[in-house]
């Protein structure tokens, strides 16, 4: 059964986007909204961008991991172009300071563990001073070293 879309469905598309506020719309949902606004079927869009309809269905349902090149082809077939917008979770200086603290804490704990094995564990104030010194050293000698053991 064919879906019927009124010409004012552009308002529905705008409302769907606006209702998200600052949250982004998943690419598949956005593709579906634009496709429907253009009164285009999945089959027609899949043909226009030369991908299997089953793949387009998965993308629209949010079940497929869409590559940037595929996303670009789909959007161009919908008379759109992607614009990549990056938003940092927090400012870069804060990210670096937090990372320095994590690295310094891990290194000092490792040193304290070794010292404890040798019955040379320092008191709490000395441990805190070791942490502060390592943080200052890492900040003063800032390099990519702070990311060496990081995995996402």
What is the average per-residue pLDDT within 50-58? 96
Task: Specify whether domain 9-77 bears CATH 1.10.260.40.
Answer: yes
Residue range(s) occupied by CATH 1.10.260.40 in the chain? 9-77
Q: Which of 55-64, 73-82, 117-126 has the lowest mean pLDDT?
A: 117-126
Distant-in-sequence contacts of 80-85, Cβ < 8 A, 24+ apart: 80/34
Query: From CA 71, how far away is CA 80, in angstroms rounded?
Result: 10
Taking Cα atoms as reference points, which of 3, 62, 70 lies closest to residue 35?
3
pLDDT in tens, 91-143: 999 999 999 999 999 999 999 988 887 888 888 999 999 999 999 999 999 99
Q: What does pTM read for this prediction? A: 0.59
């Amino acid at each position: 059964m064919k879906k019927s879309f009124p010409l004012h469905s552009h308002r529905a598309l705008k409302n769907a986007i606006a209702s998200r506020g600052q949250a982004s719309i998943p690419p598949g949902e956005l593709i579906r909204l634009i496709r429907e606004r253009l009164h285009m079927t999945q089959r027609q869009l899949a043909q226009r961008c030369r991908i299997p309809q089953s793949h387009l269905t998965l993308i629209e349902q949010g079940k497929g991991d869409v590559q940037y090149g595929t996303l670009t082809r789909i959007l161009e077939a919908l008379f759109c172009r992607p614009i990549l917008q990056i938003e940092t979770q927090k400012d870069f200086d804060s990210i670096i300071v937090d990372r320095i603290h994590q690295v310094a804490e891990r290194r000092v704990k490792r040193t304290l563990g070794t010292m404890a094995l040798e019955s040379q564990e320092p008191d709490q104030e000395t441990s805190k001073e070791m942490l502060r010194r390592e943080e200052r050293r890492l900040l003063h000698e800032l390099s990519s070293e702070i990311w060496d053991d990081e995995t996402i």
